[in-house]
Amino acid sequence: MARTLSTLCLLTACFCALAREFSDWFLFSPLAGGVLILFTILQWPGINLTYRIFAILAPSLGLSLWLNGAVSTEILGDAIDRGAFFTLFLTSLAVLRESARSSRLVRRCGTVLVNQPPGRRYFLMSFGSHLFGVMLNIGALNVLGTMIRRAIRPGPDPEAQRIGGIRRKRMLTATIRGFCGVPLWAPTSVTMLLVLSGIPDLTWEQYAPLGLLWTLLFILWGAVLDRLAYKRPKVQSVNGGNLAHLLPLVALVALIPSLTYVVAQVTGLALFSALLMCAPIIGLTWIWVQYKGRPTRVKGGLLLRRMRRSFPETFTNQRNEVVLFVSSGFIGVILIPLIDPVAASEFLARASISNATLMVGISLVMLVFAFVGVNAIITVTLILGALQQLPDLNILPQVQASVIAITWAVFAGASPFTASLRFISGFAGISPLRFGIEWNGWFSASVLGIMYVTLYLVL
């Protein structure tokens, strides 16, 4: 009963978020706020302590600021709308992940990737992990990590174990690096959601070509470092899978932004709003296709049963993420008006801080907070909110977005507090700290170094 009611709360919040895209009727905001509070109460026993603090802090802070006249009713409504939109983001993409989770196509592609010859295995594992990450988010690491563990079973011979250890290390680092490239461009990543929400003058269409370029360079640089670190093996004959199996997955990943762009053009909606309308449709269609060969009525029944049984569990299992996203988005909106833009601008001028130094400083702040366990959603929301308040800021939005996205991609594979690194290190059998620093540290540091040098040369 609690799960069903919680699911209805989430769906109501999603409806309110979509309704606000088409209507200015203010009552959608308090309705969304009410159902999100009810969802939190219903799911309270399963919410972690850290997220409980945010669940209490956000409404308390908003109410106290509103009662003291520090924020207006309109800003409070905007903060609730931001939280509802983040809920829509999580819920819509959960449908897509749920459909990918049971797809034979995903499993077949994973098998192909782990069985490639050593000479091309790194690049394909990294590229495949990236594609999986666009569709499955953190679930991509579970799929590929499990297949890597099954594929590498060295015998008792010490040399075989040594070779098996090297192969595991290369495949897992390729997997995490490909996955960490998702924030650089993918509209299904929370990074792009935060960046485009925090930089109103930037659209995904304007940033995507640059983001795709960073992604390509990110993956290629990892392949170069891997090739330099390990000698090319003499034996190349491995029973690799047919790479043609990857084409449907590539087409499916390409379909998401393509269909989203068409819907955005037809409806006049912002691209992210269109994406969140398209994702459930693509997900449900994908599940329907998985039942191919059965009569239409049977497929319809199976789809409805899946929606009744699996979807409520999938939605409510995101309780911690929902609380974190909603609270962070809400806090970010209500705190931004408290920033004195004139004082901040005068401070930067007195300190003679250049644009390059400012962006490098922002990147370092993100890294420091990521390494002490502060969630990046909060950090990025506040940083972007403060940046947009500066009256004399003359840094291109694309540059701001690139620095945020690249830094996010780096600490996702370096900080032991990130879910991605904790997850992948479990398959390596080592601590997240050792994986991030020893296995992936040189790659992370080199990417940051290249970005910082480029900023000082360009800005």
Percent of the chain scoring above 70 in pLDDT = 97
Give a yes or no: residue 164 inside a domain: no
Give a yes or no: residue 20 inside a domain: yes
In this prediction the pTM is 0.90
- Rounded Cα distance, 345 and 166, in Å: 51
Q: Model confidence at 233, in pLDDT bands (50, 70, 90)?
A: low
Is the pLDDT higher at 378 or at 36? 36
- Whose structure tokens read 């408290």? 338
Sorted by sequence, the CB contacts under 8 Å of residue 410 that are 6+ apart come out as: 180, 367, 444, 447, 448
- Rounded Cα distance, 89 and 104, in Å: 25
- Please tell me the predicted confidence (pLDDT) of residue 433: 92
- Please tell me the predicted confidence (pLDDT) of residue 241: 66
CA 114 to chain centre: 24
Sorted by sequence, the CB contacts under 8 Å of residue 204 that are 6+ apart come out as: 187, 192, 196, 257, 271, 272
- Whose structure tokens read 């004082």? 343
Give a yes or no: residue 341 inside a domain: no
Q: Model confidence at 270, in pLDDT bands (50, 70, 90)?
A: confident
- Phi and psi at residue 337, in whole multiples of 5°? -65, -15
- Please tell me the predicted confidence (pLDDT) of residue 412: 95
Domain range for 13 is 2-74
Q: Which two tokens stand for residue 170?
A: 């290369």
- Please tell me the predicted confidence (pLDDT) of residue 439: 94
- Please tell me the predicted confidence (pLDDT) of residue 208: 94
- Phi and psi at residue 199, in whole multiples of 5°? -120, 85
Give a yes or no: residue 368 inside a domain: no
Give the long-range contacts of residues 337-346, CB within 8 A, separation 24 or more. Answer: 337/70, 337/71, 337/75, 338/65, 338/70, 338/71, 339/385, 339/386, 339/389, 341/389, 341/390, 341/391, 342/391, 344/386, 344/389, 344/390, 345/390, 345/391, 345/392
- Rounded Cα distance, 409 and 8, in Å: 34
Is pLDDT above 90 for 230? Answer: no
The one-letter amino acid code at 293 reads G
In tens, the pLDDT along 353-395 reads 899 999 999 999 999 999 988 888 888 988 998 888 887 788 9
- Please tell me the predicted confidence (pLDDT) of residue 130: 94
- Please tell me the predicted confidence (pLDDT) of residue 232: 66
- Please tell me the predicted confidence (pLDDT) of residue 345: 76
- Please tell me the predicted confidence (pLDDT) of residue 239: 57
Give a yes or no: residue 8 inside a domain: yes
DSSP 373: T
Q: Which of 200-204, 217-221, 253-257, 385-389 has the highest mean pLDDT?
A: 217-221
- Please tell me the predicted confidence (pLDDT) of residue 457: 95
Is pLDDT above 60 for 57? Answer: yes
What mean pLDDT do residues 170-185 have? 95
The one-letter amino acid code at 113 reads L
Give a yes or no: residue 296 inside a domain: no
- Please tell me the predicted confidence (pLDDT) of residue 154: 64
For residue 198, give Cα distances in angstroms to 49, 148, 156, 401, 404.
27, 38, 54, 9, 11
What mean pLDDT do residues 185-191 have? 92
Instruction: Give Rg (Cα) of the chain.
Output: 23
- Please tell me the predicted confidence (pLDDT) of residue 235: 52
- Rounded Cα distance, 279 and 309, in Å: 19
- Rounded Cα distance, 77 and 83, in Å: 10
Number of structural domains the chain divides into: 1
In tens, the pLDDT along 292-313 reads 888 888 889 999 999 988 899 9
Question: What are the strands, taking DSSP E only, across 396-451?
Answer: none
